[in-house]
Amino acid sequence: MTSHSLASPRKRVSTNGKKAEAPTDDGRAAPRYAAIKQSIADAARGGQLKPGDRVPSESELVDQFGVSRMTANRALRELQASGIIVRRAGVGSFIAEPRPIGQMIEIRNIADEIRGRGHEYRARVVRNSEERATAETAPLLGVPVGTRLFHSLIIHHEAEFPIQLEERFVLASVAPDYARIDFTQMTPNEYLTRIAPLERVEHRVSAVMPDARTHAMLGLADSEPVLRMTRRTWSRGRLVSHAWLTHPGTRFELSAAFSVDD
């Protein structure tokens, strides 16, 4: 994938011969980092840069715009904070896709959500194993210590970007084949919905700073927060699943819509 060159913001020359900043609409000089931001944002809005396109690196911006590395870095950081670009450590910066919206009320399969947006879905299974409930995990499902559980950890990708880290504990007696399912072909949500029809769902959402493991698995930028949904599901009168669904805060939002009866 190639990066795109951007037109350098126009410069004016002061009477003493030194380069001045690009003028704003009111005639004042705009900071150079703001001019770079505007150039990239305009290219994204105008379609010259499309979602997924690589934008110039810090070094390339330094060469194209004749600015310091610090100025180029600030422009990229602020573009990321605005949701215009996403940055992947060791890979580069890219024009962001329109921010995906997850449904809080409907229990939808994340693979279907991603494909419904016209994007490729894939999953990487980090863990899917049987274990015994400990003093820490037993309360998650309201079971005695020593109860058989399944513990899965899966990274869901939208196009090339990790969009959700799913960590789930499941009551083994309700889903005895859970550890043998290929969750690159079927999501845990899809499997559990088939064998343990939902009766009740509980959601809780919070914005938190990620730990080192989450930071690495989701490819987060430094100091990037996450949206973490805690989801508990019941079937046939039993609490059967406890999951943490963690999303990059700058790449995802949650919404809910419902009708209210008179």
Count of domains forming the chain:
2
Which residue is listed with tokens 């809910």? 256
In a domain, 54, yes or no: yes
How far is CA 26 from each of CA 23, 30, 31, 142, 225, rounded to the nearest angstrom? 8, 10, 14, 63, 36
Residue 85 and residue 107 in one domain: no
Measured in whole angstroms, how far is the alpha carbon of residue 88 from the centre of its chain? Answer: 11
Mean pLDDT of 94-111: 64
**pLDDT over 80 at 1, yes or no:** no
Asked whether residue 2 is domain-assigned, the answer is: no
Q: Are 143 and 133 in contact (CB under 8 A)?
A: yes
**pLDDT band at 222; cut points 50, 70, 90:** confident
Say whether both 80 and 200 belong to one domain: no
Domain presence at residue 1 = no
Domain boundary among 75, 95, 115: 95
| CA contacts within 13 A on the Cβ side of 26 | 2
Q: What is the pTM of this model?
A: 0.60
Rounded CA separation 188/174 (Å): 13
In a domain, residue 244? The reply is: yes
Single residue among 79, 95, 111 that ends a domain in this structure? 95
**Based on the domain organization, do 25 and 150 belong to the same domain?**
no
From 95, 115, 130, the end of a domain falls on 95
Both 124 and 242 in one domain: the answer is: yes
- The answer to the question of residue 185 being in a domain is yes
Q: What's the pLDDT tens digit per position in 233-244?
A: 999 889 999 999
Summarize pLDDT for 42-96 with one digit per residue, the tens. Answer: 888 778 888 888 999 989 999 989 999 999 999 998 888 777 888 877 788 888 8
| CB atoms near residue 236 (< 10 Å) | 9
Residue 231 domain-assigned (yes or no): yes
4 occurs within a structural domain: no
Do 115 and 140 lie in one domain? The reply is yes
Q: Which domain holds residue 206?
A: 101-255
Calculate the CA 92 to chain-centre distance. 16
Of 134 and 257, the one with more pLDDT: 134
Round to the nearest angstrom and report the end-to-end CA distance of the chain.
Answer: 55
Q: What is the mean pLDDT of residues 125-131?
A: 97
Shared-domain flag, residues 113 and 47: no
Residue from 119, 150, 117 nearest 132 by CA:
150
Does residue 220 sit in the same domain as residue 184? yes
CATH classification at residue 127: 3.40.1410.10
Beta strands 19-20 and 12-13: pairing type? antiparallel
Asked if 141 and 246 sit in the same domain, the reply is yes
Is residue 85 located within the same domain as residue 115?
A: no
SS3 content of the chain, % helix, strand, coil (to 5): 25, 35, 40
DSSP 23: B
Q: Provide the pLDDT confidence category of residue 252 given band limits of 50, 70 and 90.
A: low
Q: Which CATH number do you get for residue 58?
A: 1.10.10.10
pLDDT band at 228 (very low <50, low <70, confident <90, very high): very high
Task: Check whether residue 244 and residue 208 sit in a common domain.
Answer: yes
d(CA 262, CA 260): 7
Look at residue 262 and tell me if it is in a domain.
Answer: no
- Distance (Å, rounded) from C-alpha 203 to C-alpha 198? 14
Residues 50 and 83 in one domain: yes
Please answer whether residues 172 and 130 qualify as being in contact, where contact means their C-beta atoms are separated by less than 8 angstroms: yes
pLDDT tens profile 145-197 = 999 999 999 999 988 789 899 999 999 999 999 999 999 999 999 999 889 88
